[in-house]
Every structure is written in structure tokens, then in C-alpha cells.
Amino acid sequence: MSAGLSRVAPAPVRVAGGRWQDDLRAVSMVWRRELIRFSRNRLRIITALVQPVLFLFVLGTGLSSMVSKGLPAGSGNVNFETFMFPGVVGMTVLFTAIFSAVSIVWDREFGFLREMLVAPVRRGALVVGKCLGGATVATSQALIMLVLAGLVGVPYSPVLLATLVGEMALAAVVITSLGIALAARMSQVESFQVVMQMVVLPLFFLSGALFPLKALPAWLAVLTRADPLTYIIDPMRRAVFEHVAASPKLAAAFGARGVTWDGWRVPIGVELGLTAVIGAVLLTIAIATFSRTD
Amino acid sequence: MGRGFHARLACVEEAAVEVTDLVKRYGDLDAVRGISFTVAAGETFGFLGPNGAGKSTTISMLCTLLRPTSGTARVAGFDVVAERSEVRRHIGLVFQDTTLDDYLTAEENLRFHAELYGVPRAQTAERLGEVLRMVGLWERRSALVRTFSGGMKRRLEIARGLLHSPRVLFLDEPTVGLDPQTRSHIWNYIDDLRKRETITMFLTTHYMDEAEHCDRIAIIDEGRIVIMDTPAKLKASVGRDRVRLETPDTDAAIAALRAVFDLEATLSEGAVTVYVPGGESFVPRLFADLGVPISAISIARPTLDDVFMTYTGRTIRDAEASSNERMASQPWIRAARRR
């Protein structure tokens, strides 16, 4: 070995020391990794659009002709697709966020999770980074759906768009937290199917994304009110219907004036507050679960 | 013996690894049955033994990934149970299975590591260049890891393990699953590293030839350290040459060796093996007096294989076969290890 080779002193590098700056760097790095992986996977971005587009334009249009017969006159360009739009945006957030979160199981399968878990940083920082990363990805994916708003009679109003983006981001954080809490206990990629069938699809079908949550049989009414996703879709739908030219009668027919609890119309603030609380609980569970595993 | 020397050294300068009566038990299976040893700072120390001997379990405990059932271990001066994160800050890890993100580039993988380990930003770029050049991957730094061969991935992992200048670098079977040429490449990098960085290396291997690269090795079998010394001293301690003979009637040959020469022969991998001082002069006597036909014969100077054979009574391959049986009866062990 020649003396000219740069010889590295044993410990010139100060490594992470449990300070909040170190945790912040970990959060930001885990977040950045999610974005890099998302932006590199164009195919995933496109395939993730197929399902909501099918729901909105195929299922929505198909049902629209049937539904419109029962609607009050004077609906203008407001139709069933308009009703479905917030539901489909919510669906995009749901599926993308769950997929991002559950990628932890892939990380476990392919070993990268180990690289993260052995690092001298708090597990909480890793979970928060993963959560923010998944949420950013899910919100970005849903933003692409927002672009299609005009096609279903939803105006590009800045106030409406800002409201929707805010609500999408909140929803994305909550769902990613749910996904991480679930993924923390999963050791096999196959379990992802179980999560999809047992958790994600019931959440989606009961959320009011596809049909108005009014005049339902009691059992279904109770289930839909117990679905946290209901309180994410509902504020988005109310925001949309505030910005389209729909008569109060039409809005009522679509159940777009808000979810009721035994006749009491739940205020948007309560819905969003509830969502935030659920998100905080899920995130706490996710952090606790990850901090326990070795 | 080396132990006295290393014990004294430990007093002067803190030992890199200090293990006392370490035990790991899975249910009623004892994976590690009370081992003690010390690795001095700057030493390259190897754990040699068959698969399932307890090597990976021990390394996992030292890296704070597994909690010991009993006993204590200190790494870089910190207790692996009480001071877990301190230990993690001061060690580098290269696992048996790859832990890289295939969808990131080589450089991004290292950057990720630098951020997680809090390497100062001002030093990151320089250190990154250093370790990438050391393993010969500087030109490929912008390529996605999924385009890398097995050997390149392993080199990148070694670079990553060194990025935060750890005091101890753990390498768990660093060459497993690689072809012979790549294996010798990896060893060139590791040998080079020993010369360039002041670092303690702790590695496990079940390849005898690889253990030769270590300053000291501990032979581990069925969860116990059988013997521990420098490779040269271990081989010298065998003191005898190995004579392998092939014969149509192995039982008769073993009986005759006992009756005529008073030698305990063993049967391994289909051949009768005896250890004798001065193998060359023994062979003519063997042909003259054995009374059992011999179809082939070979004499060899002691290798680490023979060291293993001498101290455990079987070859490393036989040991692996029996330990695989032992593991197969406990399938959940594998699941527990994968985490």
C-alpha cells in the first residue's frame, strides 16, 4: 500500500447521536426515498390511474343514465359522475397510500428494512418518514385525478382545489398510518392480498364513495358510519357540491349535504377532526409496533 | 496462547469485542451455549464453523439484532443490551443477504445510509467518493443497484458498512453465494481494507480457506467455541499429517489400523482417514502390514479442515449435514432468523 493513499482516521465522523436534528435527517431521507422510488416507476403511476378512471368514466357513465331518471329536473351538467368524482379521488388516495405503506413488507422481503432498522435512529423517525413519503405519493397520484375534474362538471376553482388537496393530504396521512400499522405485523408479501380483501375493499365500499349514504337499511347505515373513510369522502363531496350549480334538491338527492348521525348532520369540522384523531392513533400504533420489533 | 496477550492488550486499549458466557436459546434448542472471547482493537477475527453452528446467531447478538438469553457482550466498549444505539453507531454491518434498495442507484443507497447514520454533510461527499473508489464502484455510482452483479452488490455493501467509519465491521458470510473468482476479489478488498483503515473486523465463514485471512479464528461447532488461535498455530497444533485411503472394505481397514498400528481411524466422505506424524514414512508400512487392499491413498499437511476434524471429530461437511437435520426439526428457527 503506498503512503499516498488517503488513510482514514478511525473515527473522524460523528455519527447520529439521538438529537432531534438526526431524527429529522432520517425522516427527510426516508421521505425522499419514497419520492425517488415513486418518480422512477412511471408504469406504476399510469396503472394506478386505470382503476379510478374506469370507475369514474365507465361505471359512473353507465350508472348515470339509470340514476338520472330519478333525479329532480334542472341538474344542468351535474350528474352521477360529478357525484362519484370525490369518491374516486378518495379511492386513488386510499389505494396509493395503502400500497406505499405496505411496501414495507417488500422492504422486509428484500432486506432493505433491515438496513433501516439497525440504524442508530429512533424507529419513530423511520415511521414518520415513511408515513409522510407515502402520503406525498398518494396525494400526488390523486392530483392527477383532480386534473380530470372539468370532464365531470367540477370547476377548477382555486378555493375548491385547495380544499380538496388539503383533505386529500389529511386522508393520505391517515391511510398510510393504517397501512404501516398493518405492515408492521406482516412478514410475507402474500399478506398484502389479505389486507386488500379484508381491510381496503370494505373500507372503500362502505365509505360512500360509490353511492349516497342516505335511505340505507339500518345495518348498512351503521356500517357506513363506522367507516373512517366516510368522514374523508364526505367533506370532499360537500366541497365539490358547494362549487357546482346543483339545486339544493339535487344535492340532497345525492346525499351531498353531509352524513347524518341519527338525523344530526355532522359538521365538516367534526369530520376532519375525527379523521385527524384516528390518524394520530394509527400513527402511534404504527410507531409502537415498529419500536417493539427487533 | 494468544489469549493472555489479548487479555493484556485489552487492559491497555479497550477491546473491540468482549464476550462473556453468551447464551442464546430458542425454546429447547440451544443455538449458542455459553461462549466467551475477546477481540482486540484492529484485529481481524473469524468465526469458523458449519452452517447452523451458531455463527449468525452470535453475530446477530453482537449487532444488537437479537437479545442474548444470558451472558454479556460489549462491542466498541458498549453493552449490546443496555447501550444498543451506542453499539449501532459504532459498528458497520454486511449481512449474508443483501440489504440494498435495488431501485436506487449505488450513490443513493450510500447517501441514504449517510443520512441515517448522521454523517456530517460536509464530509459525506468526500467519504462517499472514498469508499466507492475503494471497492471499485466509483464509475458505476449512478447506476441502479438492480443492474449490479452479486459481487458488485456485496462490494457496495462493504462500502456502505464503512461509510460512517465504524470501529468494528461485522461481515456475516461475506462471500456466501458468490462464484470462486468473485470470492477471491472480495477478499482482496477486505485484505486491502485491513491495511488502509484502522478497523476491527469480525467475520463468519464456513469456508476453511477464507478463515486463513484472519489474524485469529475461533472454531465453533454446535454452539460452542471448540478452539481459538491464529490459523498457523491451529494447524501446527494438529502436528500430524492426514492420510486418506480408499479401500473396498472400509470396516476391515479401520479394524486393521487399530489392530496393527494402534490408530483410531475415522470414516468421512467415503474414505478412511488417519492422522500420523510423518505421513511419508508411514505409507510404505501401511502397504506392507495393513492386509486390506488399498485402491488409492493421499497424504496432506494439516489444513484448517484437519484442525476442525481434530477438534470436533468430523469434517465440516458432515457437521453441516447433521446440523441441517437439527434445524429441519425446528423449522420456525429459520423464520426467527430471517428477521
B85 interfaces chain A, CB cutoff of 8 Å: yes
- pLDDT at residue A38 is higher than 80: yes
Q: What is the mean pLDDT of residues A113-140?
A: 93
At B327, the pLDDT band (50, 70, 90 cuts) reads: low
Distance, CA of A238 to CA of A3 (rounded, Å): 72
Q: What is the mean pLDDT of residues A22-32?
A: 93
> Which residues numbered 233-292 in B keep a CB inside 8 Å of some CB on A?
none
Task: For chain A, give every domain's residue range.
Answer: 20-59+75-291
- pLDDT at residue A136 is higher than 50: yes
Q: Are strands B17-26 and B70-75 parallel, antiparallel or unpaired?
A: antiparallel
A293 interfaces chain B, CB cutoff of 8 Å: yes
Residue A78: C-alpha distances to residues A102, A149, B332 (Å) = 37, 12, 59
Quote the mean pLDDT of chain A. Answer: 87
Task: Return the residue of B nearest to A129 by Cα.
Answer: B116
- pLDDT at residue B178 is higher than 70: yes
Give the pLDDT of residue B144.
95
Task: Return the residue of A nearest to B169 by Cα.
Answer: A10
Decide if B175 contacts B209 (C-beta within 8 A): no
Of all residues in chain B, the percent with pLDDT exceeding 70 is: 90
Q: What is the mean pLDDT of residues A63-88?
A: 80
Nearest to A16 among B63, B118, B198 (CB): B118
Decide if B320 contacts B51 (C-beta within 8 A): yes
CA A276 from chain center: how many Å?
Answer: 13
Q: What is the mean pLDDT of residues A259-267?
A: 88
Count the neighbouring beta carbons within 10 Å of the beta carbon of residue A151: 11
Task: Return the residue of B nearest to A7 by Cα.
Answer: B196
Nearest to A120 among B97, B111, B117 (CB): B117
Distance, CA of B308 to CA of B314 (rounded, Å): 7
- pLDDT at residue B74 is higher than 60: yes
At A172, the pLDDT band (50, 70, 90 cuts) reads: very high
CA of B4 to nearest chain A CA: how many angstroms apart?
26
B-chain CB neighbours of A41 within 8 Å are 103
At B206, the pLDDT band (50, 70, 90 cuts) reads: confident
Nearest to A1 among B93, B112, B195 (CB): B195
CA atoms within 13 A on the CB side of B141: 18
Top-confidence range, A37-46, A241-250, B191-200: A37-46
Distance, CA of A94 to CA of A99 (rounded, Å): 9
Q: In this predicted model, what pLDDT tens digit does every residue of B75-133 receive, in sequence order?
A: 999 999 999 888 998 999 998 888 999 999 999 999 999 999 989 989 899 999 989 98
Task: Return the residue of A nearest to B195 by Cα.
Answer: A1
Give the pLDDT of residue A175.
95
A/B interface, count of CB pairs below 8 Å: 113
Distance, CA of B156 to CA of B145 (rounded, Å): 9
CA of A145 to nearest chain B CA: how many angstroms apart?
26
CA of B329 to nearest chain A CA: how many angstroms apart?
22
At B283, the pLDDT band (50, 70, 90 cuts) reads: confident
CA of B298 to nearest chain A CA: how many angstroms apart?
40
Q: What is the length of chain A?
A: 294
At A203, the pLDDT band (50, 70, 90 cuts) reads: very high
Give the pLDDT of residue A79.
83
DSSP one-letter string for B196-254: HB--EEEEEES-HHHHTTSSEEEEEETTEEEEEE-HHHHHHHH-SEEEEEE-S-HHHHH
Give the pLDDT of residue A62.
87
Q: Do B90 and A15 touch (CB under 8 A)?
A: yes
Q: Do B192 and A1 touch (CB under 8 A)?
A: yes
At A75, the pLDDT band (50, 70, 90 cuts) reads: low
CA of B187 to nearest chain A CA: how many angstroms apart?
16
- pLDDT at residue B332 is higher than 50: no
**Residue A166 main-chain phi, psi, to 5 deg:** -60, -45
Q: What is the mean pLDDT of residues A79-87?
A: 91
A292 interfaces chain B, CB cutoff of 8 Å: no
State ipTM. Answer: 0.84
Give the pLDDT of residue B179.
82
**Residue B59 main-chain phi, psi, to 5 deg:** -65, -35
Give the pLDDT of residue A294.
57
- Minimal CA–CA distance to B325: which of B29, B49, B56? B29
**Residue B160 main-chain phi, psi, to 5 deg:** -65, -40
Quote the mean pLDDT of chain B. Answer: 84
A43 interfaces chain B, CB cutoff of 8 Å: no
Distance, CA of B232 to CA of B236 (rounded, Å): 6
- In this predicted model, which residue has the larger pLDDT, A173 or A4? A173
In the block, cell 477481540 appears at B39
Q: What is the mean pLDDT of residues A72-85?
A: 78
- In this predicted model, which residue has the larger pLDDT, B225 or A9? B225
Give the pLDDT of residue B293.
86
Distance, CA of B206 to CA of B326 (rounded, Å): 17
Q: What is the mean pLDDT of residues B148-163?
A: 91
Top-confidence range, A78-82, B188-192, B300-304, B324-328: A78-82
Nearest to B164 among A13, A110, A116 (CB): A13
> Which residues numbered 87-126 in A keep a CB inside 8 Å of some CB on B?
107, 110-112, 114-116, 118-121
Give the pLDDT of residue A158.
94
Of all residues in chain A, the percent with pLDDT exceeding 70 is: 91
B142 interfaces chain A, CB cutoff of 8 Å: no
B-chain CB neighbours of A13 within 8 Å are 119-120, 123, 127, 164-165
Q: Do B118 and A120 touch (CB under 8 A)?
A: yes
Distance, CA of B300 to CA of B298 (rounded, Å): 7
Q: What is the mean pLDDT of residues B285-299?
A: 86
- pLDDT at residue B13 is higher than 70: no
A16 interfaces chain B, CB cutoff of 8 Å: yes
Residue B102: C-alpha distances to residues A46, A116, B140 (Å) = 21, 15, 14
At A78, the pLDDT band (50, 70, 90 cuts) reads: confident
Contacts of B177 (CB under 8 A, 6+ apart): B150
CA of A266 to nearest chain B CA: how many angstroms apart?
44
Q: What's the pTM value of the predicted model, to 2 decimals?
A: 0.80
Q: Do B113 and A112 touch (CB under 8 A)?
A: no
- pLDDT at residue B336 is higher than 60: no
Q: Do B102 and A110 touch (CB under 8 A)?
A: yes
- Minimal CA–CA distance to B61: which of B46, B42, B43, B74? B74
B-chain CB neighbours of A111 within 8 Å are 95, 97-100
- pLDDT at residue B217 is higher than 60: yes
- Minimal CA–CA distance to B32: which of B48, B21, B43? B21
Q: Do A115 and B100 touch (CB under 8 A)?
A: yes
CA of A178 to nearest chain B CA: how many angstroms apart?
22
